[in-house]
Amino acid sequence: MATESEPGAKVRLALAVNGEPVEALVDGYKTLLEVLREDLQLTGTKHGCELGECGACAVLVDGEPVLSCLALAVECGGRTVETVEGLQANGALHPLQDAFADLGGAQCGYCTPGILVTAKALLDRNAEPTRDAIKEALAGNLCRCTGYLQIIEAVEQAAATLRGRR
């Protein structure tokens, strides 16, 4: 948990990242994005603006998509954070990852981590989203390469795969 401290001093931060407890001494001004990338070396999470405009830095905090460039790391003390590095399980890609790779959902791959975790949050609460629901859920994630359609198809395929596993 974050503790009171002098400006400029380091803050002790404890949180769960991708299912593992993490403790770090971080600058109090740092965003969750900066702590993930710079202090925890989890560079899978990207940044495109650092102003909350592009969605590239999305991660899940307690299961909900959060723009990590707008979240102070110290606000995330005691919470669970999930990044693209945590999507794989037992050495296998998450169905979303397989579908994105197979169906052209990732071109340059830079917006992909943010879109993957946002899509995961959608599928976690809605096993059979409509095309409109997928668009709505991902409307805050910009992608300049794909034209979005192959991403939508990949989310639909992943949803079907996950339903098949139940």
- Cα atoms found within 13 Å of the Cα of residue 9, Cβ hemisphere only: 8
Assign 110 to helix, strand or coil. coil
Nearest residue (CB) to other proteins, 44 versus 76: 44
Nearest residue (CB) to other proteins, 37 versus 71: 37
CB-CB contact of 83 with 118 (8 Å) = no
User: Minimal distance in Å, beta carbon 38 to other proteins?
Assistant: 8
Nearest residue (CB) to other proteins, 68 versus 83: 83
CB-CB contact of 18 with 7 (8 Å) = no
Look at the block and give the residue holding tokens 């197979």.
102
Q: Report the distance separating Cα 163 and Cα 6, nearest Å.
A: 50
User: Minimal distance in Å, beta carbon 41 to other proteins?
Assistant: 7
Nearest residue (CB) to other proteins, 63 versus 109: 109
**Binding-site ranges for other proteins (CB under 8 A):** 29, 37-38, 41, 43-51, 53-54, 56, 83-85, 87-88, 93, 96-98, 100-113, 116, 134-136, 138-152
Nearest residue (CB) to other proteins, 78 versus 101: 101
User: Minimal distance in Å, beta carbon 163 to other proteins?
Assistant: 20
User: Minimal distance in Å, beta carbon 102 to other proteins?
Assistant: 5
> Tokens at residue 123, please?
């599928």
DSSP label of 24: E
User: Minimal distance in Å, beta carbon 113 to other proteins?
Assistant: 5
For residue 52, which of 37, 38, 72, 36 has the smallest C-alpha distance?
72
